[in-house]
Amino acid sequence: MKITGLIITLIIIFSGSLKAQNCSEFHKTGDCQTQYKDRYKLSSLSKSYYLEVGKTVTYEVILYGEYEIIIQCCTEEDYNPVRFKIRSSENGNIIYDNKYNNYINNLNLLLDHTELMSIEISVETKKKKLKGDKVCIGMAIYFEKE
């Protein structure tokens, strides 16, 4: 009986860690993919993360000037919406917050010059039963092909 309980416990732990590992490439799937693959290339700046609902993760990225950029954020289907804010790393001012655009999952931008920016991502589900769950989130950054 003790061995059965140990095996069940190990299966639960192992399956949870598998889900966390699967998040490493989440930004390459589903809603994180752009429909304009012929014009844009996925950047190595793209990231995925295993995040608790209601918490925030912050990425510092250098976005290159004079290139058209798409920032696309996504999560697992039942955990929408994903909120993302872009802040100036220089002064902390919020440059963009998708909350004011009905939580759209992407932003196209063209910068005049290269800038260091912070991108804050959180999962803000309205379903109380999901609070505290951990989910995969992705942030795909695409640059216009040369």
The pLDDT value recorded for residue 145 is 86
Is a pLDDT exceeding 70 seen at residue 3? no
What pLDDT does 78 receive? 80
The larger pLDDT score, comparing residue 3 to residue 85, is at 85
Range of the domain at 102: 2-144
* Domain total in the chain: 1
The answer to whether the Cα torsion of 52, 56, 60, 63 is positive or negative is positive
Q: What per-residue confidence (pLDDT) applies to 77?
A: 82
Q: Which two tokens stand for residue 33?
A: 């993919």
Residue bearing tokens 């917050």: 97
Nearest to residue 83, comparing CAs of 62, 104, 60? Answer: 104
From the number of C-beta atoms within 10 Å of its C-beta (0-12, 13-18, 19+), residue 52 rates as: middle
Residue 99's domain is classified under what CATH number?
2.60.120.380
Phi, psi of 113 (to 5 degrees): -145, 165
- The set of residues, in sequence order, having a beta carbon less than 8 Å from that of 99 and lying 6+ positions away, is 83, 85
Q: What is the pTM of this model?
A: 0.79
Which of 21, 8, 34, 15 minimizes the C-alpha distance to 144? 34
Average pLDDT, the chain: 83
pLDDT at 17 over 50: no
pLDDT over threshold 80, residue 4: no
